[in-house]
Structure 1
């Protein structure tokens, strides 16, 4: 794989995570002969960044589904027909992104979600995370959540109320408008001030979210409604509270009192960027 040139394309204006990890991963890309380029996206018009000058230099392109439009894989195949184009769904497949499955210029599809993998007959590849040192801030909150409302606002408010009735100090920011977004650096500051991360997924999602990764790498407790997390090797009852129909303040208070149980490094390494890249099938990236 080291002899192969791989380009990983992201959306430039995704301020939540990609812009943050791009700075963190630059030395890794350089030493492993991988390169992170950008595409600009605005009003469904592709404005090609400098990466398009180098399309012929790469054997394989891994594209993330977020805000991806057909013009990108189409342009790559037009300029470099022999290149392999892979799309990685880091979101559930739905009416907003399923059109990518019909693009004949995409050679392979991967997803972070096992349910979608089975439903659409595409490859599964576990998610990844790139940790950094958290700010050294005093703990101000027992639990916190920052994220888009999506279709979970009602459940988020219910969980917030239960936590407050349990005596928890909480910070909840349900984002419904673009102006309310915060940078990932500011998000990590809030995370560093909190004991517990709240993770509420939409119905039927089984893939691990960014919040699960954060809880693992930063040794924060997690409250989640994703019942599948108990099937993973990192699951510890002391660390992860799975919401069921009988969630109540008594259970929450008992969970808070349990000491955190560190997860072994050999388990964590399965969720690193290097492990994620190595899980792509060799024949797909060579």
Structure 2
């Protein structure tokens, strides 16, 4: 990644976001700007958050947002071009123009780690046709959005944890599901009921999205308003044999659950047919289903050793190389 600088504008909302680019944060040519921790001063950070809030600016645009730009734009101690990578919570076209005025050689990239449909609910003035004229490249993790809007596909990068001493120890389970209910609650419950009727040790942690109120009187099925923190989540991943991945309707692409399975050598149960095209696909280790009663749960008891031989295929270094190669002639950079 030499001869190019990267300014990465991440969401930075939780511990998980810390691990997207963690392994490259010490590189001299990479700076990660986290939206929730731009300022050490908590008062300034709160004012910035309010001033740039989409909830407010969707209805009335607050003036003088340019006062923040000098704090966001960073210079490197070299003359190489800079690629600005914006996660989709950073849709600020006026700031894009500010960057272009500062250095016309800089490149701008927008990355969608959510579906465009869900992002449009948050950013009311987001229009992909307009965005294409505002930035140099647009990537998405979702194949449906890539096809519909003519974008480039790129899965979410993820820094692998190698030191598990920082991860809390959890009880061992054969299979786990951890995630929000969203528009898939009935499917989650169907899977739970099917697995409960086996000898498998299971754990479901479901965060309410639609005020669900079921009570299963089961300590291994938790329905809650509280998001599980990243380190506890990784504790369950470490202690499990299989992980369940449920794609939301309208999503076609690998999620972080897929990469958790690949990086940490866990079996995967998924409704994502696209994984059959992955270099890691093995029908003994990855179960693809359409309906929950199609799943052969006996596979979860075969005790087979799983090793995908992951070698950084979804690391932030690979992510940045893909972005760079889409913008520059690699022979010149």
Q: Same fold (TM over 0.5)?
A: yes
In the TM superposition, 1:104-115 aligns within 5 A as 104-115=133-144
Is 1:69 aligned with 2:91? yes
2:221 is matched with none
In the TM superposition, 1:81-160 aligns within 5 A as 81-97=104-120, 99=126, 101=128, 102-103=130-131, 104-133=133-162, 134=164, 135=167, 137=169, 139-160=171-192
Tell me by how many angstroms 1:100 deviates: 5.2
Is 1:256 aligned with 2:301? yes
Q: Name the Cα RMSD after superposition.
A: 2.9
Check conservation: 2:267, 2:286, Cα contact below 8 A: yes
Report SS of the residue matched to 1:60: strand
Runs (5+) with no aligned partner, structure 1 = none
Tell me by how many angstroms 1:106 deviates: 1.9
Tell me by how many angstroms 1:235 deviates: 0.5
**Which whole-Å CA distance do the structure 2 matches of 1:258 and 1:35 have between them?**
43
Tell me by how many angstroms 1:73 deviates: 3.1
Task: From the two aligned structures, give the one with the greater strand fraction.
Answer: 1
Residues matched between the structures, number: 278
**Which whole-Å CA distance do the structure 2 matches of 1:207 and 1:226 have between them?**
7
2:46 is matched with none
**Which whole-Å CA distance do the structure 1 matches of 2:86 and 2:246 have between them?**
26
Is 1:224 aligned with 2:248? no
How high is the TM-score relative to the length of structure 2?
0.73
How high is the TM-score relative to the length of structure 1?
0.84
Report SS of the residue matched to 1:236: coil
**Which whole-Å CA distance do the structure 1 matches of 2:23 and 2:324 have between them?**
25
1:185 is matched with 231
Runs (5+) with no aligned partner, structure 2 = 37-48, 58-64, 210-223
- Look at both structures and tell me which one has the larger radius of gyration over its CA atoms: 2
Is 1:209 aligned with 2:255? yes
1:9 is matched with 9
Tell me by how many angstroms 1:88 deviates: 1.2
